[in-house]
Amino acid sequence: MSGFSRTVNIKVKEKTTTAATDLHNKAEWTSKVLSPHQEAEKPRKPEFATSSGLPLEPVYTAEDSANNSTARIGYPGVYPFTRGVTPSMYRSQFWVMGMYAGYGSAEEANERYRVLLDRGQTGFSIALDLPTQCGYDADDPLAAGEVGVTGTHIGSLADMEVLFGGIPLEKVRQIRTTANSIGPIIAAMYIAAFEKQGVSIQNTRMFLQNDVLKEYIARGTQIFPPEAALKFSSDLIEYCGRNLKSWTPLAMSGYHIRDSGSTAAQELAFTFANGLAYVEEVLRRGLKIDDFAPQLWTFLGGGIDFLEEVAKYRAARRIWAKLMKDRGAQNPESMKLKIFAYTLGGNLVAQQPLNNIARVAIETLAAVLGGVQTIATSAYDEAFAIPTEEAATIALRTQQIVANEAGVTGTVDALGGSYAIEALTDALEREVFRYLETIEKQGGAVRCIENGYYHRELGEAAYRYQRQIETNDRVLVGMNAYQSEKETPIPVFKPNPEMERRQVEKVKAVRARRDTAAVTKRLSELATAAGAKDNLMPVLVECVKAYATLGEICTTLRGVWGVYQPSQVI
């Protein structure tokens, strides 16, 4: 470097230092430094905000967050758990790595689970096909063409026995399922299958989504009217609170709300409002909050807006801790929100699908730095179909690379204290509580389903999101920017067309070999208990053991409770 260059550099450095020492607060920096710069150079975007619309400051300082001190944001493992639910987090154990999978028949799904477990997966999520989720047997005319298409078909205890065959259930850290409207029925099948296989049920760790309320607003597999459905899901929560402490009987689900186009604040607010509806229903049954709240989880979407997503997970823990404390929780475990994050399928783009690997890696990193307990990563081909084995393996490897190579698991809440992260955490918390107050004023979650409030809010948010894509205000690489002239086709999973026929034969064979009189008796007992508003879990287990089919059980309950008829929302 020449002497002239050294002199110039020194002078520039001195000038910058002098300017910096003249600034005493953010307002002075804005007026003296930022404003002249903006006048000289047109900003890249006229308005900067997160994907949910939260405004982004050009720079954050301690002035932007009320929670910038250690006393305010706290420590990991300590109320309000903003920084994590345990003191050591990933220093002691990585999050559960569980992929979402389900292929046509129970036999095919069982084979895939065993392969993924052999490759280092520590849990798995059972994808169910639409007929199963909506309570129809494979031979029902309404199921035609859908059996095994989006997941595994489970029609009776016979299928569940095959699904878990040869899997060391007591060693798997977490087994999840998408059952919502049918959550208690699937739980009854688990119980019966474990008893038959001689598995110690108290040593299993089943994770049942069982959040039917979000079906009415974001997913659409609801069966019964909301009040009856709320009661049905709460039966399982109460049953596990009294009998199965190792099970998760509810995962309040924001994933599908977010994938329907919600903002991050709406995702948390609507999820927690639904969660409070279950909590209050179970409290009315005589349990105390500490009897069952430690078993509850939430299931959130893992978005790609990195800073907002990290802040979202942190805000979620703080909000839930306060909500539980307000309802009388004394046990710290009742106030710890355990989070299952699934990288958002709606963020995946069909064009240039290999780019989705990068998207999923970013979403995974945000979830890890946000301190979640379980992660499922989307496969790059999910914009087309259920993942192929290769794509599912890459998705799993993405988690393993973040865990073992990225250097982000050695310290807890590494971004805690960041001016930007703390300000966004505060902003999300305020917005969520604003929504919760609005929902409470309208009578709670069920009333907001019935009066269309949820639908209107989600519709408006989804419309804004879509317009941003159409106007290129939101860039999706490969779709509305940086397109390729020629797309390279990728292999896509296709269900076996013979699977549906075989599944129809299986359910008919089950009916032929079972004790028909015993099934009729059990279904009659179920109808009586449903009419009396009893907890249905004990009688459901007996129905399942008699090999009553899923469709028969749901038909019986439809006869008592009726079927949901949505009101038109404008």
Q: What is the pLDDT of residues 399-454, one digit of tens each?
A: 999 999 999 999 999 999 999 999 999 999 999 999 999 999 999 999 999 999 99
In 3D space, the residue among 413, 410, 411 whose CA is nearest the CA of residue 425 turns out to be 413
In 3D space, the residue among 348, 364, 378, 366 whose CA is nearest the CA of residue 479 turns out to be 348
Strands 251-253 and 206-208: unpaired
How many Å apart are CA 211 and CA 179, to the nearest integer? 8
DSSP string, 358-369: HHHHHHHHHHHH
Q: What is the pTM of this model?
A: 0.89
Containing 341, the helix (H) or strand (E) segment is strand 338-343
Q: What is the pLDDT of residues 192-212, one digit of tens each?
A: 998 988 888 888 888 999 999
Number of other residues whose CB lies within 10 A of the CB of residue 63: 12
Containing 302, the helix (H) or strand (E) segment is strand 297-302
Sign of the four-CA dihedral 403, 407, 409, 410: positive
pLDDT tens, N- to C-terminus, the chain (570 residues): 444 333 333 343 434 444 455 787 888 888 888 888 776 776 666 578 898 888 888 888 887 776 656 667 889 999 999 999 999 999 999 999 876 666 678 888 888 778 777 887 677 778 899 999 999 999 999 999 999 888 889 999 999 999 888 887 777 777 888 899 999 999 999 999 989 888 888 888 889 999 999 999 998 999 999 999 999 999 999 999 999 999 999 999 999 999 999 999 999 999 999 999 999 999 999 999 999 999 999 999 999 999 999 999 999 999 999 999 999 999 999 999 999 999 998 889 989 999 999 999 999 999 999 999 999 999 999 888 778 888 988 999 999 999 999 999 999 999 999 999 999 999 999 999 999 999 999 999 999 999 999 999 999 999 998 998 888 888 889 888 888 888 777 777 666 778 899 999 999 999 999 999 999 999 999 999 999 999 999 999 999 999 999 999 999 999 999 999 877 655
Q: Which two tokens stand for residue 54?
A: 């939260």
Tell me phi and psi for residue 373, to 5 degrees: -100, -25
In 3D space, the residue among 277, 272, 228 whose CA is nearest the CA of residue 531 turns out to be 228
- Angle 183-197/226-243 helices, nearest 10 degrees? 30
Strand partners, 100: 125
CATH number of 70-470: 3.20.20.240
How many Å apart are CA 250 and CA 274, to the nearest integer? 11
Conformation bin of residue 166: beta by default, left when phi > 0, alpha when psi is -120 to 50? left
Say which residue the tokens 């998705």 belong to: 395
Question: For every residue of 159-183, which 3-state class applies, written as one string?
Answer: HHHHHCCCCCCCCCCEEEECCCCCH
Is residue 292 classed exposed, middle or buried when 0-12, 13-18 and 19+ CB atoms within 10 A define those classes? buried
Sign of the four-CA dihedral 450, 208, 300, 242: positive
Longest dimension (CA), the chain: 100
Chain-centre distance of CA 255, in angstroms?
Answer: 4
Sequence spans of domains, the chain: 70-470
How many Å apart are CA 214 and CA 220, to the nearest integer? 8
